[in-house]
Amino acid sequence: MDTSNPVLGRNTFSQFANTARGEASARMSVQGTLNKSLLLIALAILSGGFSWAFLVSNPALGLPLIVVAAIVAFVLAIVTAFRPQNSPVLAPIYALCEGAVLGGISAFFASAYAGIVPVAIGLTLAVPLVMLGLYRAGVLRATPAFTRMVIMATGGIALVYGVAFLMRLFGLSMPFLWTPTPIGIGIELVIVGIAALNFVLDFDFIERGALQGAPKFMEWYGAFSLCVTLFWLYMEILRLLSMLNDRR
């Protein structure tokens, strides 16, 4: 089963399946992936806190810090996607860099919208728990049709964001995107929903990897992939809340 998460492509786990033939401790497990996911989230929160504090005391350096951290995080994500065996080292560094980016962005949002960040964090942490509950209950499963839908929707969002970024380089903007209009808010709600649905594919993929006997380092890779989805979801929720605030 494929996944729309860009770091969990086709055969990501199957290429390593059954390579860990020894003790169970040498093979990937769902619990081990969960533990490492929590560790990466903790690292992101830690670096985000430092980033936030640094921006408050040095606001002029805020944008350069975010840009540099974002570039490093992007490069690390690409390298990790192609070299899963390096994820035990690269995933924690990625979490620290991405946390710095999110911390800086959160500081800017917090200065413009009082109380928005705690709400965004709470919602971001609640969504994957709800999706996990629905997945475990069998309400949402990564069927072929479901998977194709999420892949196409996520790819469409990536394409739109890419076009919007190129347009901004030329001083243009995409109508309705990120604007506090009913259409803009509706679009953002759909994006948040698609981001949430990615968790179902991630859960399924990680579960399959554990069943196929992938090596232990794939726990780090699975945790990394979940964090990519989680960090994306946080940004979208933060943007949605800011748009709703602008409507008041």
Least confident of 3-12, 104-113, 211-220: 3-12
Find the domain containing 58 and state its range: 23-246
Which range, 4-8, 57-61, 226-230, is most confident?
A: 226-230
**H or E element that contains 56:** helix 30-57
Q: Please, is 179 exposed, middle or buried when counting C-beta atoms within 10 Å of its C-beta (0-12, 13-18, 19+)? A: middle
What is this structure's pTM?
0.88
pLDDT in tens, 169-221: 888 888 778 888 899 999 999 999 999 999 999 999 899 999 988 899 999 99
Is residue 104 assigned to a domain? Answer: yes
49 in a structural domain: yes
Query: Is the pLDDT assigned to residue 19 strictly greater than 60?
Result: no
Residue 14 within any structural domain of the chain: no
Is it the case that residue 2 has pLDDT exceeding 70? Answer: no
How many CA atoms are closer than 13 Å to the CA of 241, on its beta-carbon side?
22
Contact (CB, 8 A) for 25 and 216:
yes
Q: Is residue 17 a part of any domain in this protein?
A: no
Residue 12 lies in a domain: no
What is the C-alpha to C-alpha distance for residues 24 and 6, in angstroms, rounded to an integer? Answer: 28
The domain total for the chain is: 1
Instruction: Give the least confident one: 132-136, 160-164, 170-174, 194-198.
Output: 170-174
Q: Can you list the alpha helix ranges (DSSP code H) found in 113-217?
A: 116-136, 144-169, 182-211
pLDDT confidence of residue 1: 37
User: Over 60: is that where the pLDDT of 4 sits?
Assistant: no
In a domain, residue 149? The reply is yes
- Give pLDDT, residue 164: 87
CA nearest to 242, candidates 185, 177, 160: 185
Average pLDDT, the chain: 88
- The two tokens of residue 93 are 């560094």
pLDDT at 10: 45
Is the pLDDT at 135 greater than 70, yes or no?
A: yes
**Residue 4 resides in a domain:** no
Is residue 79 one of the residues assigned to a domain?
Answer: yes
Q: Which of 29-33, 152-156, 178-182, 197-201 has the lowest mean pLDDT?
A: 178-182
Higher pLDDT, 38 or 25: 38
Query: For residue 20, what are its two tokens?
Result: 């860990």
